[in-house]
Amino acid sequence: MLPVRVDDHGIAPEKTRARRSWLGIGVRIVRDAAVAVAFMALVPIAIIGFKGQNAWGHGNFGTSTRAKLALSDAYRSLALPKDPSITPMQAGIAFNALRPWPERRAFPLLEPRTSPAHSWETATLTEDMFVNGTMNFGFHGPSNASVLERVASGFTPKETEYLRALATAPVWHEYDVVARAPAVDIIGGSFKLPFPANAKAEQLPTHIKATRELALAAVSRAAYHMSLGQRDSAESVLRGIISFGFAMVDNGHTTLDEITGNIIVAIGRDALKRFFVITSDPRASAPTLAAPPKSPAVILRERPLDDMRKLLIAEIANHNEPLGMRFEALRLLSASSCTNVKELIFGNSSDVDAAIQNARNSMARYPSEKALVDLMAQLPQPTTEDMKYDPIQALAVSSATVAGTVLRNPRLAACSRIVTSYYGGPW
């Protein structure tokens, strides 16, 4: 403080006192705001300190899926031979033409040059068609579990016409291209690149319903060829289902892709075995057609965070693992900074950054997959609309959001949302 003149009663001039008062108020406001932000920042720090495990769930990443894929691997000998003349992009474009994707504004689709119709979606089915339990609940048509057996008793004229339209639909050309392709660039053939700024890896569209429906319809396609006495064609169609399933297993980018492909392989294997039984083919008893044993039950034990981190990093680097499992490991690893306070404040550790760079260099096969790696390597940014909270959790997330905005650390808000959501990990 500087000395000032005072009047005869020892009182400073009014203007000086006012200036000192406003300065003090400003200092107090800044101080109180800093204290408030500090307290708000403690909220996400405390959340991660106590609940960081939630970012990676219980830590049994892919255990059940990996076991099921290993059991199905024995059926690869049942698939059709690959056609080396089909390029990955050609197969990716053919996959997109099958219309497997739901519309997502964050993931705009490429418009295929042709979009062959699925004839069974619009075909008329009357009550007197495919009766006695032969209708399917999975798609608009006959049951894959019994339509092959119906061939022996014959189809009505209306049923035959339905099956003819289904079996000769142009869509099977694209389906067979995917089934016979040595590799499929699913992302490059389906989505506009680069991905929009609002695209989030956790919202990548899935194709489980559409691709499973195609597999179910393909069994009816085989039944039509059987009804004409074209056994070789029927067998090829059923092997094509298995081939298409493995195309999903080998070229998918999520655990759900792997599961979907595995389901399709099972549909094809079951139908092929029944086909051999119906036609009295001795291959019906081949060991490769036996139903897989039940995969062992998975005991869900909590895995230490360090062990989980090592597992994810090793999975990304393992070229022998299914591609979808490796991409899923990368997606989970992107939330590494939500598992401990140090990375929450300072960002990913060096081993995580190295694993992400390794994924860009060795896991991505095409430019489209490099773009997907970059997307999946980003810290998830779930919104309050993506997840649900109780009032206390909502208050905690709000505090973390304010602190993250002021401190320019988006991890504070994002990680708080991830580990406190009703859905828990992995988002």
Domain ranges, residue 255: 73-289
d(CA 383, CA 4): 56
pLDDT attached to residue 122 = 84
List, in order, residues 6 or more apart from 352 with CB less than 8 Å away. 309, 313, 333, 336, 343
Task: Provide the token pair at 370.
Answer: 């490099």
- CB < 8 Å & 24+ apart, contacts of 304-308: 304/59, 305/52, 305/53, 305/56, 305/59, 305/339, 305/340, 307/59, 308/56, 308/59, 308/61
27, part of any domain: no
pLDDT attached to residue 64 = 79
d(CA 48, CA 308): 16
* Residue 97, number of CB atoms within 10 A of its CB: 23
For residues 271 and 307, membership in a common domain is answered with no
Tokens 């062959």 correspond to what residue?
116
Residue 236 host element (H or E): helix 231-251
Q: Name which of 187, 191, 226 is nearest 107 in CA terms.
A: 191
For residues 402 and 338, membership in a common domain is answered with yes
- Residue with the bigger pLDDT between 308 and 86: it is 86
Tokens 């005869």 correspond to what residue?
8
- Residue with the bigger pLDDT between 42 and 146: it is 146
425, part of any domain: no
Mean pLDDT of the region 280-306? 79
Q: Where are the alpha helices (DSSP H) in 73-115?
A: 88-97
d(CA 278, CA 223): 11
Flag whether pLDDT at 230 surpasses 70.
Answer: yes
427, part of any domain: no
For residues 150 and 225, membership in a common domain is answered with yes
Flag whether pLDDT at 301 surpasses 70.
Answer: no
CB 382 within 8 A of CB 417: yes
Residue-wise pLDDT tens digits, 265-284: 999 999 999 999 999 999 99
Question: What is the number of structural domains in the chain?
Answer: 2
Cis peptide before 157 (omega within 30 of 0): no
**Range name among 97-106, 143-152, 235-244, 399-408 with the lowest pLDDT average:** 399-408
For residues 169 and 264, membership in a common domain is answered with yes
Flag whether pLDDT at 300 surpasses 60.
Answer: no
d(CA 426, CA 323): 19
CB 91 within 8 A of CB 246: no
The residue out of 258, 289, 320 marking a domain boundary is 289
Mean pLDDT of the region 7-17? 54
Tokens 């008329």 correspond to what residue?
124
**Range name among 11-15, 228-232, 358-362 with the lowest pLDDT average:** 11-15
Where on the phi/psi map is residue 291: left (φ > 0), alpha (ψ -120 to 50), or beta? beta
pLDDT attached to residue 305 = 82
pLDDT attached to residue 384 = 58
Question: What is the overall mean pLDDT for the chain?
Answer: 84
For residues 239 and 309, membership in a common domain is answered with no
For residues 129 and 210, membership in a common domain is answered with yes
pLDDT-derived band at 169, boundaries 50, 70, 90? very high
